[in-house]
Copies of this chain bind each other. A is one copy, B any other.
Amino acid sequence: MAKTRVHNFFVSLDGYSAGTSITHEAPIGGAERLFAGFDGRVIHGLGAIDDPITVDRALTSTWGQGIGAEIMGRGKFGPQTGAWTDDEWRGWWGDEPPFRTPVLVLTHHPRDPIHFGNGTSFHFVDAAPDDALERALAFADGRAVRIGGGPSTVRQFLAADLVDFMHLVTVPITLGVGVSMWEGLAEVQDRFTIESVTTASGHTHQFWNRTTGR
């Protein structure tokens, strides 16, 4: 079974999967158009969305299946950089973060964990990818670990050859500026078998399954 999975990673035609200026007002930092038409509630299954049930929605609904923990970069947790100045910040998601598992937040500035009632907890660790993965697998208790992004975090794990499965969604738009999905990853595709389907919305879903032994 895949131990590490990337899910629902939307990428523009010019290779960007996030914006460059994350603020409290703009969590995706200018790349909002990547997610136009995406009803994020679908990560909890088809029972959570309105009609119609599309192929896009069915494919993106697999986000949480068999997942026991997530690893994310600090930029996904919040807009602060450097030493924590706002200890009250508990993430973008209010009292019900969608993760419902432990989440490791990679940061050079560790702090106490934060626990929520719905199973979500944030654990702040200063660790290289392989060490972070080892800790996340312990949290996951036999289930898989989702590498949750942002793009630079996914790139770090790809560069370290620690990604078993990756679901990318090519969105037929150009952004012109943003955080690259691909920088520094020449020939990364050689380690994967890739299946693609294109849906009625014009999105192309790519399933990357790692084919080489570790």
Taking the nearest CB of chain B, how far is it from the CB of A59, in angstroms?
Answer: 5
Q: Does A165 contact B (CB under 8 A)?
A: yes
The segment from A25-33, A41-49, A116-124 found at the interface with B is A41-49
Choice from B45, B59, B165 contacting A65 with Cβ under 8 Å: B45
A contact residues, total (Cβ < 8 Å) = 35
1/0 contact string of A198-213 vs chain B (CB within 8 Å): 1110000101010000
With a cutoff of 8 Å between Cβ atoms, the chain B residues found around residue A47 in the complex are 1, 65-67, 143-144
Q: Which of B51, B61, B62 contacts A1 (CB 8 A)?
A: B51
In the assembled complex, A88 has its CB within 8 A of some CB on chain B: no
Asked whether B195 lies within 8 Å of A197 as measured between CB atoms, the reply is: no
Interface of A is mostly: mixed
Smallest beta-carbon distance A56→chain B, Å = 9
Within 8 Å by CB of A66, from B48, B52, B58, B143, lies B48
16 additional A-B residue pairs with CB within 8 Å, beyond A45-B65, A55-B207, A197-B197: A1-B49, A2-B51, A45-B62, A46-B62, A46-B65, A47-B67, A52-B165, A53-B167, A53-B209, A54-B195, A58-B59, A58-B62, A59-B59, A61-B62, A197-B198, A197-B199
19 A-B Cβ contacts within 8 A? A2-B53, A45-B65, A46-B62, A46-B66, A47-B65, A47-B67, A51-B164, A51-B209, A52-B165, A52-B207, A53-B209, A55-B197, A55-B205, A55-B207, A58-B62, A61-B61, A61-B62, A195-B200, A197-B197
Interface of A with B (CB < 8 Å)?
A: 1-2, 5, 45-55, 58-59, 61-62, 65-67, 143-144, 164-165, 167, 193, 195, 197-200, 205, 207, 209
